[in-house]
Structure 1
Amino acid sequence: MRRADRLFQIIQILRRASRPVTAEIIATELEISRRSIYRDIATLIGQRVPIRGEAGIGYMLEGGFDMPPLMLTPDEIEVAMLGAQWVARQGDPVLVRAAADLMAKIEASVPEDLRPVVQRPAGVAPPRLRAVEDSIDMVALRAAIHAGHRLHLTYRDEQGRETVRTIWPVLIVYFDNARTLAAWCEMRRDFRHFRTDRVVRAEFTGERYPERTPALRARWRRSWQQSAEE
């Protein structure tokens, strides 16, 4: 690996980490010595890359650092194309168009020697098992999730019973044969999941719910994990 590529990879490792990363971990991933990592970190700091930390404790990349766009590796192209293929087959119409645009942009931007990775990938996303018609505006729903806004929902369960809920939408879970909205239900005082094709009516209130969205999402993940372990 060229040293310039190695310096870039170190930045990428630090960028994706949420806690200090030791030189040993970086050296193991890049298959080089810790001494080389120490030298490379010193070089990056000398080039004004905002890395903080020290040997034996770990390193972190400070927020706000950015670099000009660099070429994707073949593996990264495979990942992007596979993910875009899946969304193109499983997503709602807006995301399907966005996935198609992304794949076209990737194909147009990669150099000629990497075109086969795009045009003839080693993997392919599975076909959609069945068409699911969302009965809720998915664009507005994603906007409400990002904004942390309440929804008034009329929902019909699999037995055909309708209930009216006020919910705090957390995220959309994309299964192979359905899309499900994970949300905190004010009536049940707990997390509930709602199939997007079973929504009868949805009112987007524009009102913020009282909890921070990242904290609510973390609570949902813990609840999901506990349910999976039971």
Structure 2
Amino acid sequence: MNHVEMCKETNYWVRTLRKGFDLPPLMFTMEEIEAITVGANLVHRIRDPKLQEAAESVLSKLQHIVPKELRSYLASPRFYVSEGDAVRPEGIELLDVRNAIRSCRKITITYIDEQGRRSRRTIWPIATIYYVDVTLIAAWCELREDYRHFRADRIVQSEVLEDRYAADSGPMMAEWMAKRSQNS
């Protein structure tokens, strides 16, 4: 039997096995290695430094577990992923957004719309949407009392609040998805 717990020092979920139990070897096909490598390289396009670090960590771990004859494919893959056009947001840390989503915390933002108008809003972030050229934050906007999308590169200031919204954001996510599909 195994046990899963969060390691406080590293913030990783750790699965520990009872004494005498081993994990089976982790093997990947060439296509799986390429999929992981392409995915990790695509993360660089979205300009999220913490996700980029995580992607590098995944590739580093993969380098240590794949057989020697496959390591060259990780070191110099046979494909190219372009840099993309996304601008790195300066007024908000995307890690803070992901953490706020996980902990159901509200965020106050100062936002500049496409006409250059500035507004201050309190949002309930429910999803981060990564496109090649822009990152959006899907959220319930208290000012508009509706779901809105906020371009991360147009947020000039932000603060994660202690205030929380309903911990079960599943219904919010479903409602947002339904509205999104109606507008498509």
Short-chain TM bin: 0.7 to 0.9
Question: What is the SS of the residue equivalent to 2:156?
Answer: strand
Q: Structure 2 stretches of 5 or more lacking a match?
A: 1-16
SS at match of 2:71: helix
Aligned pair 1:126/2:53, yes or no?
no
- Equivalents in 2 of 1:129, 1:201: separation in Å? 22
Distance between the aligned counterparts of 1:139 and 1:225, measured in 2? 27
Identity %: 36
Give the aligned length: 163
Given the alignment of the two structures, is residue 98 of structure 1 paired with residue 54 of structure 2, yes or no?
yes
Contact kept in structure 2, 1:71 and 1:110, CA below 8 Å:
yes
| Structure with a larger share of its residues in strand | 2
Whether contact under 8 Å (2:90, 2:156) holds in the other structure is no
- Greater relative contact order, per chain length (Cα 8 Å cut-off, separation 6+): 2
CA deviation string 1:147-204 (max 9, x = no partner): 1111122211111111222211011111112211110112222110111111122221
Listed as ranges, the matches of 1:66-145 within 5 Å are 68=23, 70-129=26-85, 131-145=87-101
CA spacing shift, 1:105–1:207, aligned 2, 3 Å: same
Q: Distance in 2 between matches of 1:104 and 1:113?
A: 16
CA distance, structure 2, for counterparts of residue 189 and residue 181 of structure 1: 16
Tell me what 2:144 maps to.
Answer: 188
Aligned counterpart, 1:158 = 114
1:213 aligns with 2:169: yes
Cα displacement (A) at 1:78: 1.5
Q: Distance in 1 between matches of 2:156 and 2:86?
A: 20
How far residue 211 of structure 1 moved from its aligned partner, in angstroms, is: 5.5
For 2:14, the equivalent position in structure 1 comes to none
Tell me how large the CA RMSD over aligned residues is: 2.2
The one-letter code sitting in structure 2 at the alignment partner of 1:89 is R
